[in-house]
Structure 1
């Protein structure tokens, strides 16, 4: 596999540095590096931690929380990334899901993508203009630039929604993969030479076939085929790739290597962390998620991915070390993930199952329409999670449809709970330790009155909402359960003593903790609070 940082290191000659303001704190790090590994659950972290020898081993030797939480119910990419650098739950960020239904839209597509601007004529939720429009709160970078205008805020990610939700509204550079190459939504930003060189290098890599990886013994033990269907097995793949297959490139360890290479190049070219103003770069690594969806997180493919990620992160940190930059790192994830039920059952998880196709909103809506003699879809949304009732129905019919939907969902043996928006809204936003939250409280932390559904349907534990798996999509996340909620949160700065922490913390605690480390003022209204006892961080009195 290619580690693209090797192409980029040393390409940019030193330039005179303009005067900059004094750092926020005298001992503040000059560069804050925040890394999200998409679908990197605490279960995976615990399992593979003894195998890490490079970058993830380094971070594990800092202040390591194995019981971090994306505490809310909407354990998807966009909501999860919206919490990491805002200090706020989705109920306050406004990012309740990767997409939601807005029945007030005049366009034919009533679905809204979390990182789009649906006001742009001719766009849809699948063909959209990337925008931070829906993010209602500032990010770390936004707040940093308010207090220290000469600070730089840079984001690079494998997904647009990761780059948007971590970078925020006021970014100096934002780059993400669009399916073919790296692009940006910033019209006025000059294109760094790093991006031009990376595009050429990546296109060249995709153009040639890739031989499969040779799994080490630890991965060989996991490389057992698991049948998902009569025609599809996963578990023993090695990431061999045909020439020109960009989708296979995206779902391979090469993809994270490319993102880290771009991040390393941008740090060097933009001189991040090389003057008196503290800068921030957020890095979204997406390959773990694509591999988890397409192959499941429990097989040999994920083993190869995580060991490759460990090495690539090690290379990335070595680049920063050679630069002499005083930097601090936070690594976490936007959510976890559930393995394929077929493999879970072979490991003794007897209740692991795929959801009944009859639970989709389409099928339940059809059943309600037939029984109540209603026209239209009746229900909108996907399998489980937020469900919207068709607003074209008369008020009385909407009430009848809601009662019937609740009855159908609650009667199904794969459904754990059903809540109305009225029930959720009257709950206070939870503030207790995230491991103690009830299911309803988890839903409350994701609830937005303007965007959330009329109902919220929670499937039972170990029930995958993928009723009919196919190539590229066999496993997923998005549930209220801890295999989707629990993520590692790792803080590292050179010289800080190692500390393994077992206490339960949330991703909303990251922003106030980093803010205390660099001396940044943050709003008192945040859901998160600075974590006491993180090495090198002195929290303000609460």
Structure 2
């Protein structure tokens, strides 16, 4: 009897010890990537943000103040993939939103997949999957670590910004289809839309959100961080005569449904859908940690159209702040305050509008990529006797036509040398790198490493063009802005951690986009993604 009693005590102690050693994880991880969010937007409008959105994250969370992208080009698909793989384009293979297949010469969109069909739409917008990503994501690794018990869901207006973060084997990924005006998916993930998605689409929120003109949230004369409302470097919606508020979205939406993307209401729609996903899949309520990836894309569309110094950009961030406040309060109630972990970052930043810079006597101009490539082909034809030796100048790279070069037995080294000499003379070109021989290039760091990190031999051009600061590809007289360069305005991004296991604080040393995934892996006690080259940020969570 005494032996039985001692055995029971030993069993109880063993069970207690096992319970104490159980890995602690949050109920839900939420990865928010705000498209085209420059780091300085955290502070530029801070005095106008409320207490529950960005400022709540900064007050209660941990911010890495000097987080940088370490690859070229700084484009959307590349950024999202790098955040969630902890890798770089040289390894994960997503070298742009589009790229040129160096073996076939064909242009490839990052998530195109002809082997799948749309679910919820018959348009081409549904023929998408993560097939082109060569590496696992942190979301993949969470699924693997829990024997696929964890639920993973990706949400965005953009296909690539939902698909690439969610990984190869998520529970679901959803994106917005302009043709059907609803959220859709593909057969990579499911055979039919869940009932909750059908019900959400049935509410026709896009029509409701665009039923009233877009006017400023606050009196327009209080937008002191922005330039005048009607300036020559801002774009216009179809049918508009000026760039000024208010923007009559209702009539525009009838002819052009994607107008919701270029308004603050695209973010509202996305976060409303994200809440529906949490409820529909009961994320954060099971025994295993779930993961929700969210991309707020309207900041990108508005930024491209108007530029960083516009009232429209200021207004879209003030409204996003309120939407985040509402979303965090929803998570507090649904999952429980302190039970969910959030990180917020960006896929890239943005340059000031060229004509804005020129207006203020700062050096900036447009690099006319198409014109330069045509002139380069004319030069190479004159020297080597063959036309179209350059297929494309996409992604600030020179993509040669290897079929012609090989079939005609041309001197490839001489062609590259001639191309580099020509490009180096062009206005706005600072460096031209022969990536194959970049070790010998007189290009300063970190630019040289960024070129190497961004170069995948099967998906990247042989030559990388680096422009003068504040130059970007475009046509003279162009409006709005873009991104894609190495400069801090494009590559200095926010990174704020908030919620479960996070103590308030601030880190000023430099970290990189590739460090996000391994830091998450350390917090969750799971394996890093298989192409990860980043480092853990040890200060996060301590």
The answer to whether 1:56 aligns with 2:54 is yes
TM-score (norm 1): 0.84
Aligned to 1:439: 447
Q: Which has the higher helix share?
A: 2
**C-alpha displacement of 1:423:** 1.8
Q: Aligned partners of 1:75, 1:234: CA distance in 2, in Å?
A: 31
Contact 2:152 2:172 in 1 (8 A): yes
Give 1:464 deviation, angstroms. Answer: 2.1
Report SS of the residue matched to 1:329.
Answer: strand
SS of equivalent residue, structure 1 residue 475: coil
User: Which residue pairs with 1:5 in the alignment?
Assistant: none
3-state SS of 1:195 partner: helix
The residue that corresponds to 2:13 in the other structure is none
**Counterpart for residue 90 of structure 1:** 89
CA-CA distance at 1:23 after TM superposition: 12
Give the aligned length. Answer: 496
Deviations 1:435-479 (CA, angstroms, capped at 9, x unpaired): x94211111111112111111111111112112455xx6311001
Gaps of 5+ in 2: 1-18, 118-123
Q: CA 1:300/1:234 → structure 2, altered by over 3 Å: closer, same or farther?
A: farther
In 2: Cα distance, 1:221 partner to 1:337 partner: 16
- 1:227 corresponds, among 232, 241, 244, to 232
Aligned to 1:412: 426
SS at match of 1:362: helix
Confirm or deny that 1:453 pairs with 2:466.
no
TM-score with structure 2 setting the length:
0.84
Q: Which shifted more, 335-344 or 361-370? A: 361-370
Aligned-residue offset at 1:324: 3.7
Say if 1:206 and 1:382 are closer, same or farther in 2 by CA, change over 3 A.
Answer: farther
> What SS class does the counterpart of residue 521 from structure 1 fall into?
coil
How far residue 110 of structure 1 moved from its aligned partner, in angstroms, is 1.3
Q: Is the 8 A contact 1:63 1:500 kept in 2?
A: yes
Pair 1:48–1:207, CA change in 2 (3 A): closer
CA pair 468-229 structure 1, distance change in 2 beyond 3 A: farther
Q: Which position in structure 2 is the counterpart of 1:338?
A: 351
Which stretch shows the higher mean deviation, 455-464 or 327-336? Answer: 455-464
What residue ranges of structure 1 are gaps of 5+ in the alignment? 1-21, 428-435, 538-542
Quote the Cα distance in structure 1 between the aligned partners of 2:74 and 2:242.
Answer: 24
Q: How does 1:66-215 map to 2 (within 5 A)?
A: 66-105=65-104, 110-117=106-113, 129-148=127-146, 149-179=148-178, 180-186=181-187, 188=190, 190-200=192-202, 201-205=204-208, 208-215=211-218
Distance 2:345 2:390 in 1: 35
Aligned partner of 1:378 among 375, 389, 392: 389
Alpha-carbon distance in 1 for matches of 2:484, 2:435: 19
Give the drift of 1:228.
Answer: 2.9
Give the one of 401, 416, 419 matched to 1:390: 401
Q: CA deviation at 1:33?
A: 0.2
Deviation larger for 213-222 or 454-463? 213-222
Instruction: Quote the offset at 1:132 in angstroms.
Output: 0.9
User: SS of the residue aligned with 1:490?
Assistant: strand
Deviates more, 1:238-247 or 1:404-413: 238-247
